[in-house]
Every structure is written in C-alpha cells, then in structure tokens.
Amino acid sequence: MKGSIVALDHWRGRPAAALIVDGIVEDLIVTPKDESVLVPGTILRGIADRPLKGLGALIVKLPGGATGYLRDAKGLAPGDAVLVQVSGYAEPGKAVPLTSKLLFKSRYAIVTPDAPGLNISRRIRDEEERLRLKDIAQDAMDGSAAGTILRSQAEGAGDDAVAGDLATMRSVAEAVLADRAGSAAELLLDGPDPHEMAWRDWGKPDLLAEARGSFADHGVLDAIDGFLAPMAPLPEGGHLYIEPTRALVAVDVNTGADTSPAGGLKANLALARELPRQLRCRGLGGQIVIDMAPAPKAQRKQIDQALTAAFRRDSVETSLVGWTTMGHIEVQRKRERCPLTEA
C-alpha cells in the first residue's frame, strides 16, 4: 500500500508499534522484555551517592536498588535529592544514563523547566503560522517560569489542540517539580510506551491500524524476522551484516556478485541510505564501526556526504566520527531504543 501506516499491536505479548511507508517498515518500537527496565523519558527522584572525581559525574541511587550515572553533577553532595530523567537505555551491567535537564514531551509541545523562553521548530517557516503558535504558547504558559518548544507537528493543528497539549504538559511538569523534595528515591513519571511514542512522534498517518493482528496484516512480523537476522540485502545485489557485540556494533558491507570497479561505491552508497533504518528498527546504538566495501580514498568524501545526509534525516541522534587508519568508519549513536534482540 502506498502512503503511511501506523500499526499498533503486541509482539510476544508486549506493546509494539511500527511505522510503514509505501510498504516498507521504516520504524519499529518494542517494549523491553524486562519490565523493570527504565525506559528513556522516565522521571525519578534520585539520591546522590558517589561522586566520580575528575569526571564531574555522580552515581545516583534509584528506586528498586538500581543505580544511575549523572553527568554534570556540580553542586550535588552525597545524600542530596535530585530530579533526573532517563536519557537512554543502559548497557547490560552498567548504570542507567541520566540527565538533570528535564523535558516534558508531547505531540505538539515540549515543556522545558530548566530552559525558559519560547521556541518554535525551524521546520515551521510560514511567518503567520509562527505568530499564531507563538500567541497560543504565550497564553498557555502565562505565569510559568518554564520554557516551551513547539514541535513541527503543531503546524496546522487547531488552536484548542495545541493549547490543550501545552496545558497538559505544563500541569504534569508542575506536579513533578512540586515533588522534588524527599529523602528516598521514587518514580515520579513513567516513560512512554511504544503506542504513546507512535502517537507523539510519528504524526498523523494515512491509516491507523490498531486492531490485534495488525502486525501480521501489514507484514511487520516478517520484517521483524528480517531485523533479527544479521544479514540484510542492499539494492543491486549487495548486502550488509549487522552484528552487535558487548563493546560495539560491527557493520560489514559486501558488493555481492558485482565485482566491477564501481561496485564498491554502489554498495557503500546503498549502505549509507539503508543503515539508519536498519539501526533504528533493530534498536541499536552506542559505538558503531563500519567496514565499507573496497573503495579508494578519493571516494571517501562522497561516502561521508551520503552518510551525513542519511543520519541527518534520522530521528535518533547520531554523530559521524570519521575514518580509522584501517579504513573503517566510526559512528556514535544515542541508545534511545531497546535492542530488538533484548526485547
């Protein structure tokens, strides 16, 4: 089917969501198998524990005996209560990554208690629309010290919808901030589940499929089987292997049957276009090392440009670090998703 479909279903008994565009699964969000896992967006009151000297960081005690790792922890002493938000998935055996800069994110707006001011997404370029949204935000946030960001999805949304969204996020933020004090670690706000994230981040699709069995009806189950396999095909006969290890994610690119002088460049450019989708749907992040198909150094700039453009369109924050002396490309990617293999 042409167009976009958001499928809300359950996979292995747990909520999951898939975004399908023109018949291809472009995004996939699954619930972790371990119900105790703290998902990104969760807000907690933590208790400062052990400072990490020289790093400006701090180990934080969390509910249930969990521990977190908080960067930029200046001014905190052991025993202090601190509001923190989970910023990514923890690697097995490691502390939960935390931030003290809270974000209350919804479909049209983000409330930022630590960053006052009104900001509107740069993707909204129509000046009349920007003025309309600015007026709505100023009215909704009147009297609040918190800031707000109006997201691109607010463009064209009704006044009442945007104002209601802002009012809800403002009230949630004020309730959480009012619970700052306390002597014990406590969960204050659950992070979003896959269905909520799909509603919040994927916009309005051409078709919303939310009945049980929608994954089977729209080919998502077959796609998941593909994402669980290490090998994925590339256009024109090439293929790639994605293999996560404890230290990093290894990606290998092969030209397949194409042994022509241009075969390496074709495979590498195809990899650049496909890799963000594969990483996104597999839930992979952290350090990524790519072993490109054979290509002369003169082609590296073209490959860099293709990778940069592809990751710029991706929803997960990713940095292209550069080439190693062995000819590999290093990438650093935020751990925003639960790895599919762990779900």
Q: Are residues 89 and 157 in the same domain?
A: no
Indicate the range of 94-108, 141-155, 192-206, 257-271 predicted with least confidence.
257-271
- How many DSSP H helices and E strands does the chain contain? 7, 20
pLDDT at 331: 97
The whole-number pLDDT of residue 152 equals 94
For residue 75, what pLDDT is reported?
A: 83
Q: Counting beta carbons within 10 angstroms of the beta carbon of residue 158, is it exposed (0 to 12), middle (13 to 18) or buried (19 or more)? A: exposed
pLDDT at residue 34 in the model: 87
Taking the C-alpha atoms of residue 169 and residue 158, their distance in angstroms, rounded to an integer, is 17
Nearest to 166 by CA among 124, 191, 134: 134
Give residue 183's pLDDT band: very low, low, confident or very high (50, 70, 90): confident
Of 340, 338, 341, 343, which Cα lies nearest the Cα of 90?
338
86 and 18 in a single domain? The answer is no
Average pLDDT of the chain is 93
Assign residue 92 the CATH number of its domain: 2.40.50.140
Confidence label for 262 from pLDDT (cuts 50, 70 and 90): confident
Give domain status of residue 289, yes or no.
yes
Instruction: Outline where DSSP puts E strands in 239-341.
Output: 239-244, 249-254, 286-291, 318-323, 329-333
DSSP states of 66-85 = -EEEESS-TT--TT-EEEEE
The contacts of residue 316 (CB under 8 Å, 6+ apart) are 276, 279, 280, 285, 333, 334, 336, 337
pLDDT for 263 equals: 82
Q: Are residues 335 and 235 in the same domain?
A: yes
330 in any annotated domain: yes
Q: What is the pLDDT at residue 93?
A: 82
Residues 83 and 163 in one domain: no
- The Cα–Cα gap between 283 and 285 comes to 7
Residue 122 has pLDDT above 90, yes or no: yes
Count Cβ atoms within 10 A of the Cβ of residue 167 and give its class: 0-12 exposed, 13-18 middle, 19 or more buried. Answer: middle
Question: Do 242 and 308 lie in a common domain?
Answer: yes
- Predicted pLDDT of residue 236: 72
Residue 48 is assigned to a structural domain of this protein? yes
Question: Could you tell me if 161 and 92 lie in one domain?
Answer: no
Using alpha carbons, select from 25, 55, 79 the residue that is nearest to residue 220: 25
Cα–Cα distance for residue pair 106/151, rounded to 1 Å: 9
322 and 235 share a domain?
yes
| Calpha distance 102→302 (Å, rounded) | 38
Q: Does residue 70 form part of some domain? A: yes
Q: What pLDDT score was predicted for residue 14?
A: 93
Are 27 and 73 found together in one domain? no
> Does 37 fall in a domain?
no
Domain boundary among the residues 65, 84, 101 is at: 101
**Domain contains 187:** no
pTM of the model: 0.91
* Token couple for 70: 């908080």
Q: Does the pLDDT at position 108 exceed 90?
A: yes
pLDDT digits (tens, 9 = 90+) for 9-60: 999 999 999 999 999 999 999 999 988 899 999 999 999 999 988 788 999 9
DSSP, res 56: T
Assess contact for 291 and 252: CB atoms under 8 A.
yes
Q: Are residues 81 and 24 in the same domain?
A: no
User: What is the bridge-based pairing of β-strands 96-99 and 329-333?
Assistant: unpaired
Q: What is the pLDDT confidence band of residue 298, given thresholds at 50, 70 and 90?
A: very high
Interval 72-79 mean pLDDT = 86
In this structure, is the dihedral angle defined by the CA atoms of residues 226, 229, 232 and 238, taken in order, positive or negative? negative
Assess whether 306 and 338 both reside in one domain: yes
- Residues 253, 323 share a domain: yes
Residue, of 73 and 239, whose pLDDT is higher: 239
The string of pLDDT tens digits covering residues 199-253 is: 999 999 999 999 999 999 999 999 999 999 999 999 777 899 999 998 999 999 9
Q: Do 266 and 303 fall into the same domain?
A: yes
Q: Is residue 248 part of a domain?
A: yes
Domain boundary pick from 188, 217, 246 = 217
The terminus-to-terminus CA distance of the chain in angstroms comes to 28
> 188 lies in a domain?
no
Count the domains in the chain: 4
Q: What residues make up the domain containing 76?
A: 43-101
